[in-house]
Amino acid sequence: MKILIAGPGCAKCQATEAVVRKVCTEMDLDAEIEHLTNPAEFAKLGVMFTPAVVLDGKIIESGHVPSEEKMRQVISEHVA
């Protein structure tokens, strides 16, 4: 599983990455997590608003910091 955090590195972007990492650790997932900070890179993915979470190429959250509960739900559905 590859999870990308797209955003310029602002506080909301960092908070989003922290939520994703925490949830993956709690779920004992071996996910590759990467933070993209280049706007040209996340534009190629279709990201219009940051921070965004892209799970295996699909935008699952955009424009706000996701809750831990939401991330658990989305990741659980993806791995099921």
For residue 9, the enclosing domain spans 2-79
Any idea which residue has 């900070």 for tokens?
Answer: 37
Whether the model clears a pTM of 0.85, i.e. scores above it, the answer is: yes
CATH number at residue 48: 3.40.30.10
**Is the CB of residue 3 less than 8 Å from the CB of residue 20?**
yes
Give the C-alpha distances (Å, rounded to integers) separating 24 from 33, 42, 49, 77.
Answer: 9, 22, 23, 13
Q: Comparing C-alpha atoms, which of 78, 80, 28 is closest to residue 53?
A: 78
Residues in the chain, pLDDT under 70 = none
10's tokens: 């602002």
Q: Look at the chain and report how many structural domains it folds into.
A: 1
Q: Where are the alpha helices (DSSP H) in 1-80?
A: 11-26, 39-44, 68-79
| pLDDT tens, residue by residue, 8-18 | 989 999 999 99
